Amino acid sequence: MSEEQEFWDDFAAEYAEIQQESQLTIAEDLATFLKTNGILPISSFVDLAAGSGRYIPAILPDTKRYLAIDFSVEMLKAARRYVKDPQQKVDFRLQTQAEFLADKTTYPLIFTAMNPALTEKDQLISLVEKSRRLLILRIVRTKENIFQPLEQNDHKDEKLLSVYKKWLLEEQISFSTHLFSYAYEEIIDREFFYRYFQQDIPQSELLQLSRSLFREKKKAISKTEIDYELLIV
């Protein structure tokens, strides 16, 4: 087992819980967009790096077969627990991306969302060649007013979709895009804020930040904006 597989196995339960508690309706909005644009329904839908199965319930009614691929045993277990599939249309497959790309099988559609392993041009071109239609979904912008300014994050992942576009243009492969934008608020407890940063920020500085953000109150409002972009090839 690789270190990456071990990491995602260990993180699977927490990740699945985060996904299920998310306020965002990206899965449902994606399905609506695909139906409106004639991409769904479809005979077969491949979800590469399917994780805990976030997109399966929204897409499943509009496909005869849903192939959920992930290299983490625990992620696939979480997906099986999450998904209701009385017609047994979902095929959960334990497979690495490299193994999937090495297989010569082609598909009507391949979808991949927030795929951490899609980092090389040859991988992207292989996905294009394996599918009649390729859908790649990624977060391209996040903005948050309480936690984000204090965290060390270069947001490289948010720039990956621009890199994919560059690679496609280099190969003269046409594509289109669609943006899904969200904004939401959460109430943040002062004590939670303090615990969250106590290992990373010196106590004196953290107390000062806490006073500045919360003033005399025990709670503050975290405001978040998120943009997802869908790349359609």
* Cα-based distances in Å from 161 to 82, 146, 170: 28, 26, 14
* 58-62: average pLDDT: 97
pLDDT of residue 119: 95
- pTM equals 0.86
> Token pair for residue 117?
């392993």
CA angle 64, 65, 68 (to 5 degrees): 150
Could you tell me which CATH number the domain at 3-142+153-183+226-232 has? 3.40.50.150
Does residue 232 contact residue 33 with C-beta atoms inside 8 Å? no
Work out the pLDDT band at 23, boundaries 50, 70, 90: confident
Residues 6+ apart with CB under 8 A from 105: 130
Task: Kindly give the residue spans of alpha helices, DSSP state H, lying in 22-140.
Answer: 26-36, 56-59, 73-82, 97-102, 121-130
Percent of the chain exceeding pLDDT 70 equals 90
> Token pair for residue 197?
């940063």
Query: What are the helix and strand counts (H, E) for the chain?
Result: 9, 7
User: How many angstroms separate the first and last alpha carbons of the chain?
Assistant: 33
Query: 3-class DSSP state for residue 73?
Result: helix
* 116-145: average pLDDT: 96
* 152-180: average pLDDT: 91
Q: Which residue has the higher pLDDT, 98 or 9?
A: 98
Closest alpha carbon to 52 in 84, 88, 15: 15
* 185-212: average pLDDT: 80
The domain locations on the chain are 3-142+153-183+226-232
pLDDT digits (tens, 9 = 90+) for 146-157: 788 877 766 677
Q: Is the pLDDT of residue 4 over 90?
A: no
pLDDT of residue 19: 66
Does residue 136 contact residue 231 with C-beta atoms inside 8 Å? yes
Work out the pLDDT band at 203, boundaries 50, 70, 90: confident
The rounded distance, in Å, linking the Cα atoms of 132 and 18 is 32
